[in-house]
Structure 1
Amino acid sequence: MALTAAAACSSGSGDDGGKSDSGASSSASKGAEGKDKPASLEAAAYKQLPAACKVLSEKTVEDLVPKVEDKSGKTGKSTDVTTRSSCSWTGLDTNGVDGSQFRWLSASLMRFESEQGLGSAEDRAKDYFKKQVAAASGTEGAKNVKSEPAAGVGDQATTVRYDLDKGKLGDYKQQTVVTRIENVVVTLDYNGAGLAGEKAPKATDMAKDAEKAAKEVVASVTAANKEGAEGASPSDSPSKKPSDKASSKSS
């Protein structure tokens, strides 16, 4: 519209031999170019993820999942492990006629990049963090749902706790700790049940264990992105320095 208006004024004056028309066109073109140029986005702080089945030590796995079937864990399917990965561990501690204790532990990691049209890596991670907390809080069939901040875990963290009645399989105690560290979101799920007459585990104890494990995962993410870390090349190093606050919280 600016070009049309400029042309109309030029033909009406007839005094400058078309010079004003050319000048207006040039100015309008420059203005349009300025508007079309997208604003630059801050680079992602973390450029890679650690191997999901290595984010927790064997000792932590054995403590949280007694009689674990496979200490090395079961790797989840992913089309791109640099942006999404997961691992899970299962254990059943059988005490004969006295019943059994079941435990299941899972760590899922999601990393975001800055992308035009989608936003910065950190803002995208913040949005995903909120969605994960909402999804855990809205689990179908969940009872006695409690959601509270988890202090000292990453840049922001929330623990969601609830009971889940699985009929013959018993009443399960579920703990989900959702943590964000820079542009990475960690979702740690930990549940357990007392089977065949065994007492159900204490939810408060499980929540503490889950938050402790989440801190360990955060530390693994930070370590994987330190310059010189195994598997990292100079080009893989963070463009933005990882959060010192998050690193100190997880230590």
Structure 2
Amino acid sequence: MHRPAQRDHRDQHDQGERQPGRRNSRLGRLLVCAAAVPAVLVVAGCSSSDSGAASSGDAKQQTSTAKPSQSASAKAVQPAAYSTLPAACATLSGKTLGDLVPKGVKSGKEGATDDIATRASCSWSSLQNNGVKGSQFRWLNVSMLRFESEAMRGTGDKLAKDYYTRQVQDARSVDGAKNTKPKQLTGVGDEATEVRYDLKKKEGAFKQQTVVARVENVVLTLDYNGAGLAGEKSPSADDLMKAAEKAAKEAVSAVTAANRDGGASPSKPAAASPSKSASASNKS
């Protein structure tokens, strides 16, 4: 294709040489067209300028239209209802602890935390030796997690609801759990669920009771388990659950009391929302 194109160009040149009249006529037409070019450029320039002005106006209009949505996204969310947590090891009374962990009232161990106004936990354990009959073991843990309202994530109440749902699901899907029985509870915070199951370990057969409760923007998880060791009979799951429910109500009341009329706060409210549980529950 390249060679034929050159040949055509050369043939046209030769024809021009042989026909001077036609060449002069063609030159005249070229001069007329060249004279018309500036006018075309002026028109094109005006058209381009108008288009730019319109684009600028459209951009301003789009910016103006976008402002309301930006303002809406930056709008502050409703503040969380509760701003603090009670001291974890003080959520339950001495009488309640005496019922749940008879030999471990003074065994309370506070969980590690970087902000006790946002996350807190405490655990107790009890081993009651019954001589040749064996012994009764009990373990109790209360953990609390408080959520702040955040513009990007939502209100503290919503975040707490989401976490509450996940906690219940976790309690229902423990590895090795047998005879799992979840049940909705009433009268324990804004919403609550109990989950019971059996868990066999090398030490013995454990009866596990978990109560997950939400009150406003705080989620409370109470774990309570018991086992008969060294020949002692296993405790009644019904009795353990009844005790766990009572303790959960008391712990929820402690959360409410800590925030009533700016109640006794262990520390100032945290600015950030937590993203994980107050402490890992090392169930025995």
Instruction: Check whether TM > 0.5.
Output: yes
**Greater helix share, structure number:** 2
Q: Which blocks of at least 5 consecutive residues in structure 1 are unaligned? A: 1-9, 237-251
* Paired residue type of 2:95: K
Separation in structure 2 between the aligned mates of residue 232 and residue 51 of structure 1, nearest angstrom: 7
* Alignment TM-score, normalising by the size of structure 1: 0.82
Q: Is residue 185 of structure 1 aligned with residue 219 of structure 2?
A: yes
Match 1:147 to one of 159, 173, 182: 182
1:12 deviates by 7.3
Quote how far apart the aligned CAs of 1:176 are.
0.2
Distance in 2 (CA, whole Å) between partners of 1:229 and 1:76 is 22
- In structure 2, what is the equivalent of residue 164 of structure 1? 199
Match of 1:210 in 2: 244
User: Matched residues in 2 for 1:113 and 1:231: separation?
Assistant: 16
Query: 2:63 is matched with which residue?
Result: 29
1:106 to 141, 152, 156: 141
TM-fit CA distance, 1:117: 2.2
Distance 2:266 2:169 in 1: 34
- Of the three residues 116, 120, 129, the one matched with 1:81 is 116
Percent identity of paired positions between Structure 1 and Structure 2: 55
Distance in structure 1 (CA, Å) of the matches to 2:173 and 2:109: 26
Q: Deviations over 1:194-213 (max 9, x none)?
A: 11111111101111110110
Q: Is 1:194 matched up with 2:205?
A: no
- Structure 1 segments, 4+ long, off by >6 Å, are none
SS in 2 for 1:194: strand
Point out the structure with max Rg over C-alpha: 2
Give aligned pairs, total: 222
TM-score, scaled to structure 2: 0.73
Which residue of structure 2 lines up, in the alignment, with residue 245 of structure 1? none
Query: Over aligned residue pairs, what C-alpha RMSD do you find?
Result: 2.3
Task: Measure how far apart 1:98 and its partner are.
Answer: 1.5
**In the alignment, what sits opposite 2:90?**
54
* Distance change (3 Å), C-alpha of 1:74 and 1:230: same
| Residue 21 of structure 1: how far off its partner (Å) | 6.0
1:41 to 73, 77, 95: 77
5+ residue gaps, structure 2, are 1-45, 270-284
In 1, Cα distance between the equivalents of 2:211 and 2:265?
28
Match of 2:162 in 1: 127
Q: Which residue of 1 aligns with 2:106?
A: 71
